[in-house]
Amino acid sequence: EWKEKYDTLDNVEDDTLTFTLRNTWIFRPDLSVLTGEEIVTVPHPLIMGVLLTVQRDREAMMPLVKKGISILFDPLETAFLKVRVMDLLFDGIYIDCSSQDFAAKALCSGMDSEGAVSPHNETHYKFSLFGMRNHTEAGRWVVYRGVKNIRDLGRVISYNEETEMDIWDGDECNQYIGTDSTIFPPFLTEQDRLWAWSPEICRSLGAHYVHKSKYAGLPMSYFELDFGDLKNEPHNHCFCRDPPDDCPPKGTMDLSPCLGGPIIGSKPHFYGADPKLVEAVAGLAPNKEAHDVYIHFELASICMAYRFECPFFIALYTRVLFLQFTGSPVSAAKRLQFSIELGPVHDHDVFGQLPEVILPMFWVEEGASLNKTWTNQLKYQLFLGLKFNATVKWSTIIIGTVGSVVSAYIYFHRKIKPVDVAPVEPTTPNTNPSSAKDGIVNVPLGKNLPPVLDGLDKPPKLMATELGQERY
């Protein structure tokens, strides 16, 4: 699947990003274990969906619908359909609407208006599970950019110009909670949930923290997604038809208000759901490793845009690993089972004997993971570099702290060595000139000086008469 976001528009003032999403599926035989030519037998999804939905919501129209079905699908001998896999999934099953009978024309028009079928030509329509959505627009989104408030990064504001849904019987259930599942905000804690909203199932789902984990040696946190038990959760009763008695079984969700048919969503093989669902269908073997829904996420992350291709139209991640410092998935997978809620159709020869059971039709598992080339690059160029910087930083802090403590200890506790000084006795200087012959001169400092050279110790004395003669 190729998911394309185009016609983008940035609103700096509101800190929002507007874009249109388009999904394109491309069949890769070289990567598939099937060729698409296999023949499978399934409950007829179109006939069963129409009959059970009308019987539940518009019972007064049942006679008209029964007549229209008998004309369009003549001869109708069984409730099951043998069909080529690729026809069921993408290529489509032809429906002849050339009849001029009012019941047939009304039924074809109703299925077209509800989006159950797509026109092929003037007289025929086609029905497939995913073909009608291939290479089509998946809505106009408005999300927060997270520039002004990083905690709002990716949070959905509106979808197709609507700020909330009008699907469920309660304001809480009609709110857009979380992102579009391709990015999550950083700085989440173990008490936070990873919320994402999907237009294909018309609701938000949040994964809760379980324990620490690793992916390719990178530190992650393990989050798990649980569909819960709506009957015992009053805040989720708006997802029920008539709470608390008419709620989907534990571990499942009723997708009929969103998809327009009696479809029940769950984990594959009803893993984590009511055990009665497993017991009612032969061949189911729920397994945690193969069927659980979980996410690996780096809590201390800084989110950056990283787009990966999610190959199915239900935007529900069942295994996502997010990279530290990017907040983007480095490995993602999703598993979701679609079951049809079977039951007898009153007064119908073919569908009147059907049992009341939730019968699995198919389940999907898709994923994308960064290979060793990318994980090794991230590990050795980003994570090890960050670890080295952190090691140098804390080593410098520790060494500096220890050195400061040791220096302070030495400074305040060192011992000062004593120095011996000779005592000084004051003496009176001798001013008698005759003392020069003694050979030494005593000075107050108590130090001995060498004797003045003979003849240079003092200037010669002059008589007063000599002074007078010299002056004149």
The pair of structure tokens assigned to 370 is 């960064």
Is the pLDDT confidence value at 47 over 50? yes
Q: Which residue has the tokens 């092929």?
A: 120
Is the pLDDT confidence value at 468 over 80? no
Q: Which of 62-76, 85-99, 331-345, 374-388 has the lowest mean pLDDT?
A: 374-388
Give per-residue pLDDT as tens, 211-239.
888 888 777 788 888 899 999 999 999 99
Higher pLDDT, 310 or 209: 209
Is the pLDDT confidence value at 288 over 80? yes
Q: Exposure of 180 by Cβ count < 10 A (0-12 exposed, 13-18 middle, 19+ buried)?
A: buried
Query: Cα(453)–Cα(450) distance, rounded to whole angstroms?
Result: 9
Share of the chain above pLDDT 70, in %: 79
| Average pLDDT for the chain | 82
Name 15's Cβ contacts closer than 8 Å, sequence gap at least 6: 144, 145, 146, 147, 148, 149, 152
Higher pLDDT, 26 or 310: 26
Is the pLDDT confidence value at 19 over 90? yes
Nearest to 138 by CA among 86, 194, 182: 182
Name 368's Cβ contacts closer than 8 Å, sequence gap at least 6: 308, 309, 310, 311, 329, 331, 332, 333
Give per-residue pLDDT as tens, 312-322.
333 333 344 44
**Does the predicted TM-score (pTM) go above 0.85?**
no
Query: Cα(55)–Cα(261) distance, rounded to whole angstroms?
Result: 11
Is the pLDDT confidence value at 389 over 80? no
Q: Give pLDDT, residue 467.
A: 46
Name 459's Cβ contacts closer than 8 Å, sequence gap at least 6: none
Q: How far is CA 310 from the centre of its chain?
A: 14
Query: Cα(118)–Cα(111) distance, rounded to whole angstroms?
Result: 9
Q: What are all long-range contacts of 373-380, with beta carbons under 8 Å and residues at least 24 apart?
A: 374/330, 375/215, 375/216, 375/217, 375/218, 375/330, 376/216, 378/218, 378/323, 378/330, 379/216, 379/217, 379/218
SS3 167: coil
Tell me the CA end-to-end span of the chain in Å, nearest whole number.
Answer: 130
Q: Which of 275-289, 347-361, 405-419 has the lowest mean pLDDT?
A: 405-419
The pair of structure tokens assigned to 8 is 């983008």
Q: What is the DSSP letter of 281?
A: S
* Residue 311 preceded by cis peptide, ω within 30: no
Yes or no: say if 293 and 335 are a contact pair by the CB < 8 Å rule: yes
CB count, 10 Å around CB of 369? 16
Q: Give pLDDT, residue 152.
A: 94
Q: Give pLDDT, residue 450.
A: 53
118-119 and 124-127: which strand pairing? antiparallel
Report residue 300's pLDDT band, with 50, 70 and 90 as the boundaries. low
Report residue 44's pLDDT band, with 50, 70 and 90 as the boundaries. very high
Is the pLDDT confidence value at 304 over 80? no
Give per-residue pLDDT as tens, 423-454.
766 666 555 555 444 444 454 544 454 554 44
Name 465's Cβ contacts closer than 8 Å, sequence gap at least 6: none
SS3 471: helix
Q: How far is CA 316 from the centre of its chain?
A: 11
SS3 371: coil
Q: Which residue has the tokens 């499942």?
A: 252
Q: Give pLDDT, residue 260.
A: 87
